[in-house]
Structures are given as C-alpha cells and as structure tokens.
Structure 1
C-alpha cells in the first residue's frame, strides 16, 4: 500500500454520537428511505409510460442518455460545491427542485402534452440535479458519524435505502393498476417533499476551507491530481468505468425489454423484477452490516463485478418469471457487495476536505460512460440485434476485462 494512500485517511469527528443514537444519521437515513421509495415508484411509472402507453420502447434509451449527460458534465462542479457548502443544504435544495419538476410533469400529463421528447427534457433536468445531489449525499456521512462506524453506516444506508426500492416497484405496480399517472406522480412529489423536510433539519460541521482555494477550477484540478496519485482511488475509477460502460445500458434498457418480449409483458412483472433486484441489495447490505469486510476489499469488488457480468448474460435468455427474479436478486446482491466496500474505501483513503471532489470524480469515471452504454444498446436495438445477444456479449466482456485488471494490477489484489 502506498504512502499516499495512508496520508489520505481522514480524521473523523470524535464527538459524533454512536450510530443508532446519532440524530443527524437518523435524519439522513429516514430521508433516504422516503426518497428511494418515491423515486422507485416514479421510475417504474415513467418507464412503463414510455414502453406501454407511448409504445416506443426503442426510444427509452434517449431518455436515459438525456439523464446521464448533464449528470456527468456537471458532476465535477457538484463535487467542488460539496466541498464548499454544507452537504445537507445541497441535498435539500436538489430534492425540493425535483418536487417542483414532478408537479410540472403532472400538469403536462393532465393537458395531454407528455410525450417522449418532453420526458427526455425532464430527464435532462433530473440528471443536472443528480450532479449536485450525489456528491453531497456520498460525502455527508464522514462529517456526521465516527470513523469506526463508517462501514456499518454505509451498509445500513444501502440496505435500508433498498427497502424503498423493494416496496416501491410493487407499490408502483399496484398504483398504476388503480390510479391514473397524474395521481402516481403527485404521490411521489409529496414523498420527496417530506424527505427534503427531513434533510432540512440536519446539523453538520461547518465546512473548513484552506486559504487560497477560492477558484473552482483550481480546486477541481487539485482533486483530479489527488485521485490519480492514489493507486487505490485510481484503480477504483478504472474498474467502475469498465463496469458501467458494459453494465448500465444492458441492465437499464434490457430488463423492460425482457419483460415485454420474453415474459408476461405486464407492469406487475416489471415491478416484481425490480423488487427482486432491490431484495438482493437489501440482503447483500444486511450481510455487510453484520459482517463488514475489512480485508481485500478491492479484490472483492473486482470478483463480484465479474460474476455480475455472467449473471447479466444469463438474464437476456430468461423466459420464466421466477428465474428472471432469481437472476435479478443475484444482480442486486452483487451491486450491494461492491458498492458498500467501494464507498468505505473512498471514505477511508480520502482527506475529508477533498471527499466531495473524489466522490464526484469516481462517479464521473464510472457514470461518464453510461450515456455511451445506453447509446450502444439503443443503436444495436435499432439494427434489430436482439437483447438475447446484447446482454451476454456485454456482460461476459465486462467479466473478462475486470478479471484481467485484477491479475495485472497488484493494488487490486492486496488493498484492504
């Protein structure tokens, strides 16, 4: 392990309360559960509106690309701002703006003006908000919990956040069967408003900035140099860049198509698959909460991502709903098994005054290739290449590349 990696370990607030008696942690925890429930319902409703109501499943990729591009383009700026301002304030504002956008969507839907291009525009705005929300959300925990509680706090957050994603699709499927789209989107707006109110009461330490860091470009450049100088952070960014290039498109676009082409073709079936994915994440997060990994975490991430590639390939050939749900469960389990140690590694190997920038850079390195992944899958679908080819080719290529990295880079094999 390099000296630069040791120097990046943060010094945490020793006055922070034990985790489950920590008011600030409980507030951000509650807000995350509520918001993930709301976003899961909204995502299911939007996806089903495009695939079934508009009948343009081939254009779903445009919506996802539109959400990804501003998220990546502004992510570095969001990271710098997360190091300049209180993270809770950023989270609350981004959520509040999303509430306004959701009710604007309801108004357009009621007027009959909600088409694929309007949804694409909304996705663009959502992505821009995410660019500020994600770095702040990922950077807030080190300021409000003790260093010894970080891995467990990340596991609890990931696990309980998925409670919303477990029940969200199921609830969304029920709501879509009983209520019009306007009522479903209105409910999600109300839930997001409640979550934003919870975050508004968050108390966190004042942001400490060193003299001479007034220029955003200088701070961004410093963050890039810092991350690239650390073998651990550099390896993480490369691994997640490969994974998201070859995973996000086939998963995001492939699952609705598997449902419509291979399975029952109902909103309830899509909700079952999304819930199975979330149950897998809950299970993985629970295991990591009880048994937090402390050894070979970077190697664990690489191996889990390789296994996810194999499972993704199998998913493209499922014609039986229980089997598809089982594979989704394994994919969710894998996501939890690599995301929790990833967050802990970044938080452990990064100075606190740079954590917002490093979080955003890691997200950019991974999610920056998501629009290309969506575009590749969309292009192949337009050329009438079946999802039964796309998912296996992408998944197995991802597995091979990540395993090759683990073999060739000692840092991946030896970092705890």
Structure 2
C-alpha cells in the first residue's frame, strides 16, 4: 500500500521519446569520452618511451573485462542496470579526472598507466552489461530494434567526433587535457542518467522455463555465484538465446581481428599507408552508419532471425574480399559492404537478445553476449598478428571469413533462431 507507483514506459516511437533521447545523449557522451580516453592513454603510454610498456598499457584493460564481465551482469540483475550504469560512469569520471590531475603534477609512468587501465577495464566490466540491459527498461519491446539503430548511429558519431577531439586535446594540452576532457564527458552523462524514468520489466509468463527458474532462485535466495550459474543455465536451455550466443561468438571471432589489427597490417603490406587505412575505416564506418540509420528509421525488420543469419553469412564474403582487392578504393567499398551487412546483423543480434531474455536474467545474458566482443575477442589479436606474419593477410582473412560464415550458417541451422521475430 505504501509502495511508490510504477512508471510505465512510453508507447511513442523511440526517436520521439524524451526518455530514450536522454539515455541516447548520455550514451553518446560516454562513447565520445571513451574515444578520447583511449587516444589519450595510447599517447601517454607512447610518451613513456617504452614500446613494450606501451603494449602492456594498451592490453591491460582487456584482462579485467574478461575476468569480471559476467560478474557485472550479475550485479546489473541484482541492483538494476540504472544504478550500475550511474555508479560505473561516476567511477570512470573520477578515475580519469584523477589521472589528469596526477599527470598535471608529474610525468606519466608505465606503472601508473597500467593501474589506471586495469581499474578502467574493471569499471567497464560493470558498465557494459548494464548499459546494454537498459533499453528494455525505457521503451516498449516493439521499439528495441529502432533503439539499436539509434545506438549504432550514436556509436559511429562518437567515434567520428571523439578521435578528432582527442587529437586536438592532445595537441593543445597533451594527454593531461585529453584525460580531463574525457572525464568531463563521463560526468556530463550523469545528470541525464539520473533523470531517466525506469519501468520494471514484466514478469515472465507462468509455466515457462524462465518463470520456474526465477521462482526457484527466489526461494533459495541465491548468492552471486548461484546467480551466475542460473544465468548461464537460462541461456543454455533457451531455444533462441543459446544458438544466438554461438552466432555472436563465431561472428565476432571472424570479424573483429581482420577489421581492427588486420587492417593495420594489410595497409602496411600493400603500401597503402595510414591514409589508405583511414579510407578503409571510413568506408566501414559509413556502411555501419547506413545500417544503423535503416533500423532507426524502419524500427522493425520482419523475420529478424533469418535476416540476421543471412547478413552474417553474406558479410563473410566482404571480409574475404578485403585481402584480395588491388586498390584502396575497392578495399574501402568492400569495407563499406561489410559495415552495412555486419552492422545490421549486430543490431538485430542485440535486439533479439533483449527481447528473448527473461527479465530476471537480462543483465547476465547481456554480459555473456558482451563478453565475446569486448573481452575475449581482443585477446585473439596476438594470434591474428602472428598468423598474418606467418601466412600473410590473404589466408588469414579467408579463415576469418570462414569462421564468420560459420556463425551465419549456425543461425540458419537452428530452427528457433531462424524463425525468431521481434515484437511489433
């Protein structure tokens, strides 16, 4: 009788919903801050004069992400994603502003930068699952595909704006000013996050596996480890989520290495230089932005599971073509094609995750899907680099394309995933 009334999410389109736009603005500010932070970190590490130390600093953040990401999903489900996002964003702001103050007083050292990278990675392990679990709390299910399109546009815009801003900050005031700018952007997102109206997700229907699991968990009052195991069990038993995680893992494994580290080595081997690589990256970004814009405008794609699987399968051909084309222009066109179909597949994956996960497990399910992209796959970079050094870009890109295609084929092979639909 004394409980506060529950606020219902708005039924208006996501792009006209002030609540969604507040979330999107906060997310954009955080993503721009991320871009500036990573540029400043790389520059500060390079200024130490140690090549091995620079590599250590840049790799350090992946370790806590890999170790703590699943725990971040448990925390998001226990405390609610909004609390975790606000707390982790505040922690990122304080950490980066503290580093800026430190560098204002003294020169950077590898030790200090490694500690900051580890702490930032640990906070990111909490932030990423929670921010991915927020959209179903601020908009109806039928708007989730549109939100993923808007999120994709924000991410592309942040990368376009963040890199030049970081460069200007570094050129003007060194890494100290760049870190300060990133910290301010993290802080600016906090008022927007605090103003969000959050609605609890509906309970799963009685009789479903998720309802039985949630009821059993509630009766046992599980600890954090039992929560984690329960979330993994939910994914394994779900007819859509289990296959979807296989698709995400295989697609990311075949996609991320060639499109990040691989492009640097490919441009170097072909003599295209940094400018050529820039055109290829721009091509990929424009294609991904096109996919995001399509989803943001359209709002829903019929037969989402089938389209997602087919686009992942088709995108593999573009990855293989990247290492075979003879010119920068054709490489940029291939990258744009990969960005278009890959961006569409990725956004549909996220929307299917959010609409199929039972409410009690949304943070944990999001943490598993995020773990592949942001924690485990980057650890494959040394393997990708060693393979290219041994066999060249052509064979490695062909194998990566085959792995990516296997992910798309897996999506087609699982009937429940192939027939999966997004809510209207």
Residue 251 (1) aligns with residue 245 (2):
no
Q: CA deviation at 1:45?
A: 4.3
Mean CA deviation greater in 220-229 or 62-71: 62-71
Gaps of at least 5 residues in structure 2 are: 1-5, 204-213
Q: CA deviation at 1:398?
A: 1.6
Pair 1:246–1:65, CA change in 2 (3 A): farther
Counterpart of 1:4 in structure 2 is none
Counterpart of 1:385 in structure 2 is 390
Pair 1:276–1:129, CA change in 2 (3 A): farther
> Secondary structure, in 3 states, of the residue corresponding to 1:122?
helix
Counterpart of 2:349 in structure 1 is 342
Pair 1:279–1:168, CA change in 2 (3 A): farther
Gaps of at least 5 residues in structure 1 are: 1-11
Query: What is the rounded CA distance, in whole Å, between the counterparts of 1:105 and 1:271 in structure 2?
Result: 30
Residue 331 (1) aligns with residue 361 (2):
no
Q: CA deviation at 1:338?
A: 1.4
> Secondary structure, in 3 states, of the residue corresponding to 1:385?
helix
Q: 2:285 aligns with which of 262, 278, 282?
A: 278
Counterpart of 1:99 in structure 2 is 93
Task: Give the conservation status (yes or no) of the 8 Å contact 1:165–1:275.
Answer: no
Q: CA deviation at 1:238?
A: 0.6
Counterpart of 1:149 in structure 2 is 143
Query: What is the rounded CA distance, in whole Å, between the counterparts of 2:53 and 2:262 in structure 1?
Result: 13
Q: 1:39 aligns with which of 28, 34, 37?
A: 34
Residue 166 (1) aligns with residue 160 (2):
yes
Query: What is the rounded CA distance, in whole Å, between the counterparts of 1:321 and 1:164 in structure 2?
Result: 25
- CA offsets, 1:142-190, max 9 Å, x none? 1121222222222222223322122223444455555523222222221
Pair 1:326–1:65, CA change in 2 (3 A): same
Mean CA deviation greater in 229-238 or 44-53: 44-53
Counterpart of 1:415 in structure 2 is 420
Aligned length: 400
Task: Give the conservation status (yes or no) of the 8 Å contact 1:68–1:368.
Answer: yes
> Secondary structure, in 3 states, of the residue corresponding to 1:203?
coil
Counterpart of 2:127 in structure 1 is 133
Counterpart of 2:108 in structure 1 is 113
Mean CA deviation greater in 163-172 or 365-374: 365-374
> Secondary structure, in 3 states, of the residue corresponding to 2:134?
helix
Task: Give the conservation status (yes or no) of the 8 Å contact 1:308–1:395.
Answer: no
Q: CA deviation at 1:232?
A: 1.0
> Secondary structure, in 3 states, of the residue corresponding to 1:202?
coil
TM-score (norm 2): 0.80
Task: Give the conservation status (yes or no) of the 8 Å contact 1:65–1:375.
Answer: no
Query: What is the rounded CA distance, in whole Å, between the counterparts of 2:45 and 2:140 in structure 1?
Result: 44
Pair 1:340–1:406, CA change in 2 (3 A): closer
Q: 2:183 aligns with which of 180, 189, 193?
A: 189
Q: CA deviation at 1:389?
A: 4.4
Query: What is the rounded CA distance, in whole Å, between the counterparts of 2:385 and 2:126 in structure 1?
Result: 27
Pair 1:178–1:369, CA change in 2 (3 A): same
- CA offsets, 1:114-140, max 9 Å, x none? 44x654443332221122111111111
Task: Give the conservation status (yes or no) of the 8 Å contact 1:75–1:131.
Answer: yes
Q: 2:360 aligns with which of 353, 357, 380?
A: 353
Counterpart of 2:312 in structure 1 is 305
Query: What is the rounded CA distance, in whole Å, between the counterparts of 2:236 and 2:316 in structure 1?
Result: 27
Q: CA deviation at 1:287?
A: 0.7
Query: What is the rounded CA distance, in whole Å, between the counterparts of 1:17 and 1:158 in structure 2?
Result: 22
